[in-house]
């Protein structure tokens, strides 16, 4: 059914467009025309102000709506997590499996393969560990962290369906393997790492192209030892994921990162856990208990255990710091797609793009979500 949307500013993924009407058929954006030239009739909907923007793209969702992907690595879990976050404006996502037993990783890879092109919005999978640095384990179980073997690399390459993003640390993966993964189409991101600036840059040279949750669980920026933070902030073409929830990264550090990289270099992420998008206050992370306390998700020892936000919460948070709305939205739409090496269509309002869209009122309240009827779009 054709629908004509007008009366809101259009954010196309890069900039605002005024006095525009968007025409779609539920699957594809058919046209973007001047409001005066729009078709008339019962299919026309006046949005009454606010912003019409692409659906949000989250490359790091561990869970939501009470479900943890590691705990239930099944297609049904991916569907439930996707539906929970879609109600909050995320229309494209990567279910994320963190460090766990080999059989959990195998099941998660199989579930993601089954969901690409079937579950709306599921673009593939993010494998965050176990090939990380135990010195920067964060909430990952240290006893399950290990070096990547050639057989592990074979498994990842063979299992790739849609997008595969792998977070790893130079301490656990040599650069020849980084190059092999990148050549096979795997997006390699550095994270949970004590890498020096030189080690990080060598991995980028080998084919790594991103940094996972900048500042968190990694070597920090020092004036003589820039660490992974310094390498990520200054390496051209590297996109850094960033958790904007007021707990993971100080406001000043958020502003510094955005100023250094610009909206094309920072991808907002949720790092969401089961309490996000309507889940309970407490959940199990392996054999450890995690709880929501004052907006933070913590293990019993106080270690942060993911985040209790959706991607729209992150957009609102950085907007509250004075970041322009177009910058905040670009970091949650076009930039994440670029991180994944996609052409950006699922996160753009453009003729021929999937009709994945959200409408925000002037206070950034979500009023409606459109999801392209084409599965996986």
CA distance 270 to 283: 17
Identify which of 274, 267, 275, 276 has the alpha carbon closest to the alpha carbon of residue 309.
Answer: 276
Contacts of 96 (CB under 8 A, 6+ apart): 60, 61, 62, 69, 125, 126, 127, 128
Please state, in angstroms and rounded to a whole number, the distance separating the CA atoms of residues 337 and 371: 17
Q: Does residue 244 have a cis bond before it (omega within 30 degrees)?
A: no
What DSSP character marks residue 213?
Answer: S
Decide: helix, strand or coil at residue 222.
coil
Q: How close are the terminal C-alpha atoms of the chain, in Å?
A: 18
Point out which residues pair with 211 in neighbouring strands: 190, 240
Q: Please provide residue 192's backbone torsions phi and psi, each rounded to the nearest 5 degrees.
A: 45, 60
Q: What amino acid positions are annotated as catalytic residues?
A: 271
Residue 30's CB is within 10 A of a number of other CB atoms, namely: 16
């Amino acid at each position: 059914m054709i629908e004509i949307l007008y009366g809101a500013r259009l954010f196309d993924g890069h900039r605002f467009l005024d006095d525009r009407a968007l025409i779609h058929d539920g699957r594809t954006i058919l046209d973007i025309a001047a409001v005066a030239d729009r078709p008339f009739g019962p299919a026309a909907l006046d949005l009454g102000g606010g912003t019409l923007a692409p659906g949000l793209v989250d490359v790091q969702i561990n869970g939501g709506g009470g479900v943890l992907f590691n705990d239930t690595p099944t297609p049904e879990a991916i569907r439930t997590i996707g539906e929970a976050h879609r109600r909050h404006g995320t229309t494209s996502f990567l279910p994320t499996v963190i460090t766990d037993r080999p059989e959990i990783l195998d099941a998660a890879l199989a579930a993601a393969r089954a969901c690409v092109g079937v579950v709306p919005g599921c673009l593939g999978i993010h494998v965050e560990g176990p090939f990380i640095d135990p010195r920067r384990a964060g909430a990952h179980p240290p006893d399950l962290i290990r070096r990547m073997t050639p057989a592990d690399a074979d498994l990842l390459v063979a299992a790739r369906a849609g997008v595969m993003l792998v977070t790893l640390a130079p301490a656990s993966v040599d650069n020849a393997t980084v190059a092999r993964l990148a050549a096979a189409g795997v997006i390699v991101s550095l994270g949970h790492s004590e890498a020096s600036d030189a080690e990080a840059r060598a991995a980028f040279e080998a084919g790594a192209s991103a940094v996972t949750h900048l500042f968190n669980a990694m070597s920090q920026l020092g004036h003589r030892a820039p660490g992974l933070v310094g390498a990520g902030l200054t390496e051209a073409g590297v996109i850094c994921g960033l958790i904007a929830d007021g707990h993971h990264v100080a406001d000043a550090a958020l502003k510094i990162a955005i100023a250094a990289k610009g909206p094309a270099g920072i991808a907002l992420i949720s790092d969401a856990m089961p309490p996000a998008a309507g889940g309970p206050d407490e959940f199990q992370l392996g054999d450890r208990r995690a709880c929501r306390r004052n907006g933070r998700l913590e293990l019993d020892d106080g270690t942060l255990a993911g985040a209790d936000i959706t991607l729209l919460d992150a957009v609102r948070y950085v907007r509250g710091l004075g970041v322009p709305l177009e910058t905040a939205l670009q970091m949650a739409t076009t930039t994440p797609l670029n991180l994944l090496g996609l052409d950006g269509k699922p996160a753009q309002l453009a003729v021929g793009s999937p009709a994945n869209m959200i409408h925000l009122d002037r206070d950034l309240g979500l009023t409606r979500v459109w999801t392209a009827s084409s599965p996986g779009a």
